[in-house]
Structure 1
Amino acid sequence: MRAHPAGPRHAEVLPASHLGNPAKNLNDLDPTIWPANATRENGVLHLGGVDVRDLAAEHGTPAIVLDEGDFRGRARAYAEAFTGGDVFYAGKAFLSRGVARWVDEEGLHLDVCTGGELKVALSAGFPPEKIALHGNNKSTAELQKAVDHNVGRVVLDSYVEIVRLADIAQRAGKEVQVLVRVTVGVEAHTHEYIATAHEDQKFGFSLSGGEAAEAVARVLRQPGLKLVGLHSHIGSQIFDTSGFEVSAHRLVGLLRQIRDEHGLELPELDLGGGLGIAYVEGDTPLDIGAVAKELRRIVETECTSAGLPIPRIAVEPGRAIVGPAGVTVYEVGTVKPVDTGTGTRTYVSIDGGMSDNLRTALYDAEYTCVLASRASDAPPMLARVVGRHCESGDVVVKDVWLPSDVVPGDLLAVAATGAYCRSMASNYNHTPRPPVVAVADRTTKVLVRRETEDDLMRLDVG
C-alpha cells in the first residue's frame, strides 16, 4: 500500500499563474489542452484508444505519442476555413514521412526550411509543387535541390539569396516562383525568441528601412525569378489577431507601392502562422474559422481601400495542427520532497527531459501533466517535473499539482508536446532520442523509431 506524504505541499512556493485549482479532480483531462481522443478508462489514460501502459510496455519511455485523428481533424479544419486560399503545414514543428503523407491526404501544402526537411517531404512522395522553401540562410545546395525538384515556392530572405537563386534558376533554364519575406515591424506579444517581425532580428527585409522595396526591385530584374507575392510571419504562440491586422495593413501598402512603381499587381499574400495553442489552464486558442474570416476581412478591407485586387491568402500553421495532437509519456524514476524555506516542492524526476523537450529551458515554456498509469484520490502536492540530465535547468513542467502518492514506476503524461519537442530533440549526455508513435482506432504505428546507443556510436568514427 502506498503511503501518502503528510501535510500540504503548497502555499508560499506557488507561482502566481497557470497552476490551476488544486481542489479540482487531478484525474480530469482539460479538452482544450489534451488531444481529441484522450480519455480515462478505469483511471488509466488512453490515447487514440490505446492504454498508455501498453504503449510504454511496447515502445518504452519516454515516447512521444501522436493522435492521428486529432492531427487530421485540425488539418481538415484549416483546409475548410481557408477554402480559396492555401494552407502550408509548417514542417519545422514536426515532420516525418508519415506526417507528410497525412498533410498531403488532407489537402494541405507543406512549408520546409532546410534541405533535410525537403528530403523528408520528397521521400514521402509529397507533391513538390505544393512545397514552399523557407530559411534565412539557404545554402546553394539547398536552393539547387529546390530548383531541381521544381519546388512550388521559394521565400527569399536576403539580397545574397536573390542572386544565388537567380543564378541557379538561369543555369537550369527554369523560372522559379518566389515571395519576398517582409519584416513589417509588428511586436507580437510572445517570447523574444519566437517574435519574428520586429526590426532587430535575422529574418526578412525591413519594410520601414526600404530594404523590402529594394528586394522587390532586385527580384524583378532577375529573369530566372518570378515574383508572385509577399510573405510575413509576426511570431508564434499568438492569441489575438491585432498583430495580423497591422501586418496586413503594412503589406498592402507595399503591394500598392509595387503596383505604382512597377505596374505589377501581385496575386499572393502569405500571412505566416503563429496561432497559439493551449499548453496550460487559462490559455485560450482562437477559433480557426473565426480567424480565417477575420483575416479575409482585414485583407479585403485594406486592398479595397488601396484599389488593389484581393490576393490569394496563404497561412502556415504548424504548432496549431501538431502541437495538441502530441503527448509525451515518461516513467517516474525518483520522487524528492525539497524544503524551499517557504514551503515544500516535490521534485519528480522522469526518464527524459531537456533532450526531448528543450522548450521549457529555452523559452520558459509552460506545460501540464497528469499521472497517467492509474487514478488517484490522494491529496494534491505541488510538483516540479524534472529530467535526468546534468543541468539544473533541466525542467519539463515547472509547477503542477500531482497526487501526493506518485512513486517511482508510475507513468506521467505531458500534454501538447507534438510541436518542437521531437524536432528540437538532442543527444545531450549521449541520450538516444525518443520514438514518435502514432495512435488511431486502438492501434499504434511507429513513425520515427527510438534511437539506440548503437545509432550514436555509428557516428563516432574517432
Structure 2
Amino acid sequence: MVMISKHAVNKKGHLLLGGIDSIELAKTYGTPLFVYDLSLIRERARAFINTFKEQNVQAQVAYASKAFSSVAMYQVMNQENLSLDVVSAGELYTALKAGYPVERIHFHGNNKSKSELLLALEHNIGCIVVDNFYEIELLKELTTELNQKVNILLRVTPGVEAHTHDYITTGQQDSKFGFDLLNGQADRAFQEVYQDENIQLLGLHCHIGSQIFETVGFKVAAEKLIKKMIAWYNEFTFQCTVLNLGGGFGIKYTDEDTPLEPSVYVKEMVIVVKNLVANTDFAMPEIWIEPGRSLVGDAGTSLYTIGAEKEIPNVRNYLAVDGGMSDNIRPALYGALYDAVIANKIDEKIEKEYTIAGKCCESGDKLIDHISLPKAEAGDILAMFCTGAYGYAMASNYNRLTRPAVVFVEHANHQLAVKRETLEDIVHLDLPLTMEKE
C-alpha cells in the first residue's frame, strides 16, 4: 500500500478503503454503495470519551443516530460504550432490535406522538428530551396512567446562532425546537415538571447547529444554560445534574473546511462549566454531548459506477453516475460540497473538469458541480468522500430507484450491513386497484 494525494492506494492504482480494494468492493456488492470504515468511527468515539476522562468529568457521549442508523451501526456504537440519541419510533425500534442498553437511550424530537412516548415508557429508556408543553402534558398523563417514573431533560433554545447553513441552524430563537430561554418559556416548563412525582428532571439540553468549526457558540450556550440552572438552584433549591450541549461538530468535506479535533470541543466546554460552578454551592453536572456527523461522516465513502458523459462546449462536461439525489440529497437540498476521485485511476494525471450528475429526473440532481479528474470512461468507479452522515439516512425511492447497500470495512475485513433494495422491495407495500370504474 502507498499513499497518493492523502489516499491509500494499492499496487493496481486502486483506492483502498479500510485496507480493501474499493474496486473489489464495487464488484462484490454492486453500486451505488456506501462503505463505512469502522476504525475511524471507533477512533473518533474514543477521542470524545477519553477527553472527558482526562478532564475528570462525568459524561455521556451519545451517538446522534439521525446521521445514519441501522442495527449493525448501533451495535458498533454500543461496543464503544456510547449512549444513543434517537428521534422516532423507527430509530428506537431499531435500537431495541440491536439490543442497545435501554438506560443509555435518549429520545429526542419536536413532535413525539403518544404512541412513541408509550414505546419509550414501555421499555423504560434512559431519558426523554422534552421539547414542548404538549409533550409535558402527554408525559404527565401517561406516567400517571402507568404509575411510572421517567427521566427527562428540557430542550431549550439559548439564542445562540452557530456559523452554519440557515437550514441546519437550530439554536437561535426562531426555531421549531425547544423552550425559549430568553422569553420565559423555559422557566414555565421548569415550574410544570420540577415537582411532578413521576417526572424526574435531570437538567437542560440545547443544540446550536451543525457543521460547526469553532467553540465560541458552545461556550456561550454552556454559560447560558449553567446560569439558568444555578438560578433555579438558588430559588428552588433544585439541583440539575445533567447539562447536554448537543452536537454539531464539523468535519472536513473539502480542503476549505477547518474542523477542530474532538478533544478541543470537549476541553473548551468543560473549562467553561468548571469555571461557572467554581465557588458556588451548585454541584458540577454530568456533561452530555451528541456527536453524529463527526462520528460517521468522514468514515463513509460512496462508490458509483460512471456511465454517460455529455460535453457542452464552452459550458461544462457532465459525467453521470448510477446514483444521485436519491442516495445523497444534500448537494441539491442545500448546496453541500464534496470531494471525489476515480477509484481505479488514483495515480493517473488530472485531465478534465466535470460536473458529477445523478440519474434522477431533476436538473438539480448534481452531486459535485466542478471537479477535476483523470479522463473518465464508462465503467470507472467514482469514490465520493465523507458521505457517511445524512446520505443513506435521507435516501429515498424517488423515480422508484432502489436504495444502495451499506458495507462495513475494518482492518481488511468487510461485511454487508444493509442489503441493497430490490425491485420487489419497491412494490411490496403497493396494493392493486379494487374499485370499479364508473
TM-score using structure 1 length: 0.90
- What is the distance in 1 between the residues matched to 2:281 and 2:368? 51
Paired position in structure 1 for 2:435: none
Q: Which residue of 1 aligns with 2:401?
A: 431
1:164 corresponds, among 110, 134, 138, to: 138
Identify unmatched segments of 5+ residues in structure 1: 1-26, 32-37
Q: Deviations over 1:114-154 (max 9, x none)?
A: 00000111111000000000000001011001011010000
CA separation of 1:30 and 1:282: change in aligned 2, threshold 3 A: farther
The answer for the alignment partner of 1:377 in structure 2 is 348
1:314 aligns to 2:284 (yes or no):
no
Which digits, 9 at most, give the CA deviation of each residue in 1:269-290, with x for residues without a partner? Answer: 0000000000001211111112
Instruction: Number of aligned residue pairs: give it.
Output: 426
Residue 415 of structure 1: which of 364, 385, 391 is its match? 385
- 1:292 counterpart (266, 285, 289): 266
Structure 2 residue 88 is the aligned partner of structure 1 residue 117:
no
User: Partner amino acid for 2:253?
Assistant: Y
Q: CA offset at residue 351 of structure 1?
A: 0.2
CA contact (8 A) 2:4 2:347 kept: no
Cα shift at 1:263: 1.4
Counterpart position of 1:457: 427
Distance 1:228 1:422 in 2: 33
Q: Pick from 126, 141, 153: which aligns with 2:115?
A: 141
Of residues 381, 385, 391, the one that matches 2:362 is 391
Question: 1: CA distance between counterparts of 2:421 and 2:168?
Answer: 29
Instruction: Measure how far apart 1:221 and its partner are.
Output: 4.1
Aligned CA distance change for structure 1 residues 210 and 30 (closer, same or farther; 3 Å): farther
How far off is 1:434 after superposition?
Answer: 0.3
Which of 282, 286, 301 aligns to 2:275? It is 301
Say yes or no: does 1:196 pair with 2:167.
no
Deviation at 1:377, TM superposition (A): 3.1
Native 8 Å contact 1:332 1:350 kept in 2:
yes
1:86 to 51, 60, 76: 60
- Seen in structure 2, the aligned counterparts of structure 1 residues 41 and 299 have a Cα distance that, compared at 3 Å, is farther
Amino acid at match of 1:223: E
C-alpha contact 1:170 1:223 (8 A) present in aligned 2: no
Measure the CA separation in 2 of the matches of 1:187 and 1:446. 40
Q: Map 1:237-256 to 2 at 5 A.
A: 237-256=211-230
Residue 277 of structure 1: aligned partner: 251
How far did residue 441 of structure 1 move? 2.5
Task: Tell whether 2:53 aligns with 1:53.
Answer: no
Q: 2:410 is aligned with what amino acid?
A: A
Deviations 1:223-254 (A, max 9, x none): 22100110000000000000011111111121
When structure 1 is superposed on structure 2, of 351-360 and 159-168 the one drifting more is 159-168
Give the Cα–Cα distance (whole angstroms) in 1 for the partners of residues 389 and 281 of structure 2: 40
CA shift, 1:305, in A, is: 6.6
Correspondence 1:76 to 2:46: yes
Greater alpha carbon shift after TM alignment, 169-178 vs 266-275:
169-178
Give the AA of the match of 2:111: N
Correspondence 1:179-258 to 2 at 5 A: 179-258=153-232
Distance 1:182 1:40, change over 3 A: farther
- Between the aligned partners of 1:378 and 1:290, the Cα distance in structure 2 is 38
What is the RMSD computed on CA atoms of the aligned residues?
1.5
Percent identity of the aligned residues? 42
Pairwise CA distance, 1:187: 0.9
2:36 counterpart of 1:66: yes
Residues 301 and 384 of structure 2 are in contact (CA less than 8 Å); yes or no, is this contact kept in structure 1?
A: yes
8 A Cα contact 1:327 1:416, kept in partner: yes
C-alpha distance in 2 between matches for 1:419 and 1:28: 25
**Secondary structure at 2:240's aligned position in 1?**
coil
- 2:330 corresponds to which of 359, 367, 377: 359
Is this contact kept in 2: 1:353–1:387, CA < 8 A? yes
Q: After superposition, what is the alpha-carbon deviation per residue over 1:335-373, rounded to whole angstroms, capped at 9, x for unaligned?
A: 22223xxx4422111000000000111121100100102
Amino acid at match of 1:441: H
Counterpart residue identity of residue 356, structure 1: D
Distance 1:445 1:336 in 2: 36
1:30, distance to aligned residue in structure 2 (A): 3.8
Q: In the TM superposition, what is the alpha-carbon distance from 1:204 to its structure 2 partner?
A: 0.4
2:413 maps to a residue whose letter is T
| 1:327-342 equivalence runs, <5 A | 327-339=301-313
User: Any gaps of 5 or more consecutive residues in structure 2?
Assistant: 433-438
